[in-house]
Amino acid sequence: MAFRPSKLCLRFPQVRLPDLSSFVQLFCARNVCRVAISNQLFRFVVIASTRDMARKVFNSPTFVKPCVVDAAYKLLRPENWVFLDGKPHVDYRKGLNGLFTRQALETYLPGQEEVYNVYFKRFLQVTKNNNGKAVPFMPEFRELMCALSCRTFVGHYISDHAVKKIADDYYLITAALELVNFPIILPFTKSWYGKKAADVVLEEFAKCAAKSKVRMAAGGEANCILDRWVQSMLASEEYRNKVASGVKVEDTEKPTMLVRMFSDLEISMTLFTFLFASQDATSSAATWLFQIMADRPEFLEKVREENLRVRGGDRHAPPTMDMLENQLPYTRAVVKETLRYRPPVIMVPYIAKKDFPITDSYTVPKGTSPLYAGIGPQFGRRGVRYNENLTWLYRIHGGANNLSCAPR
Partner 1 sequence: MVPTTYLALHDSEAYPNPETFDPERWISGDADKQVKNWLVFGTGPHYCLGQQYAQLNLMLMIGKASMMLDWKHQITDLSEEIKVFATIFPMVSLSMLLQNTLVPDGRELDRVWCANSS
The residues in 209-268 that bind partner 1, with binding defined as CB under 8 A, are none
The answer to whether residue 92 forms part of the interface with partner 1 (CB under 8 A) is: no
Is 384 a residue that touches partner 1 (CB under 8 A)?
no
DSSP annotation of 360 reads: S
Which one of 112, 189, 223, 363 is in contact with partner 1 (CB under 8 A)? 112
- Quote the least distance from Cβ 250 to partner 1, whole Å: 31
Q: Does 206 bind partner 1 (CB under 8 A)?
A: no
Buried b (16+ CB within 10 A) or exposed e, 337-349: ebbeeeeeeebeb
Among 210, 234, 265, 303, which residue sits at the site for partner 1 (rule: CB under 8 A)? 303
Q: In whole angstroms, give the CA distance from residue 191 to residue 172.
A: 8
CA distances from 114 to 3, 157, 203, 222, 233 (A): 38, 15, 25, 16, 28
CB-nearer residue toward partner 1: 155 or 370: 370
200 touching partner 1, by CB under 8 A: no
Neighbouring residues of 368: CB distance < 8 A, sequence distance ≥ 6: 43, 44, 45, 46, 351, 352, 356
Using CB under 8 A as the binding rule, whether residue 408 contacts partner 1 is answered as: no
135 is an interface residue for partner 1 by CB under 8 A: yes
Q: Does residue number 118 form part of the binding site for partner 1 (CB under 8 A)?
A: no
d(CA 123, CA 205) in angstroms, rounded, equals 27
What angle (nearest 5°) sits at the alpha carbon of residue 279, between those of residues 256 and 308?
80
Query: Closer CB to partner 1, residue 45 or residue 185?
Result: 45
H-helix or E-strand containing 36? strand 35-38
Helix (H) or strand (E) holding 47: strand 45-48
What is the distance between the alpha carbons of residues 30 and 25, in angstroms, rounded to a whole number?
8
144-163: contacts with partner 1 (CB under 8 A): 148, 152
Q: Does 66 sit near partner 1 (CB under 8 A)?
A: yes
State the Cα–Cα distance between residues 200 and 268, nearest whole angstrom: 11
One of 118, 210, 258, 300 touching partner 1 (CB under 8 A): 300
Should residue 13 be labelled a site residue for partner 1 when binding is judged by CB under 8 A?
no
Pick the stretch among 70-78, 195-203, 248-256, 304-312 that binds partner 1 (CB under 8 A): 304-312
Query: Is 382 a binder of partner 1 (CB under 8 A)?
Result: no
* Candidate residues 32, 200, 333, 400; the one interacting with partner 1 per rule CB under 8 A: 333
Does the footprint of partner 1 cover residue 58 (CB under 8 A)?
A: yes
Establish if 403 lies at the interface with partner 1 (CB under 8 A): no
Site for partner 1 in 25-54 (CB under 8 A): 25, 27-28, 31, 45-51, 53-54
Taken in order 307, 313, 314, 318, is the CA torsion positive or negative? negative
Sequence-distant (6+) residues with CB within 8 A of 247 are: none
66 three-state secondary structure: strand
407 binds partner 1 (CB under 8 A): no
Question: Closest CB to partner 1 among 52 and 221?
Answer: 52
Shortest CA distance to 197 belongs to which of 236, 232, 166, 239? 166
- Which residue pairs from 184-187 have beta carbons closer than 8 angstroms and sit at least 24 positions apart in sequence? 185/71, 185/74
Selected range binding partner 1 among 154-162, 255-263, 364-372, 391-399, rule: CB under 8 A:
364-372
Binding segment toward partner 1, per CB under 8 A, in 136-144, 157-165, 248-256, 257-265: 136-144
Nearer to partner 1, 243 or 366 (CB): 366
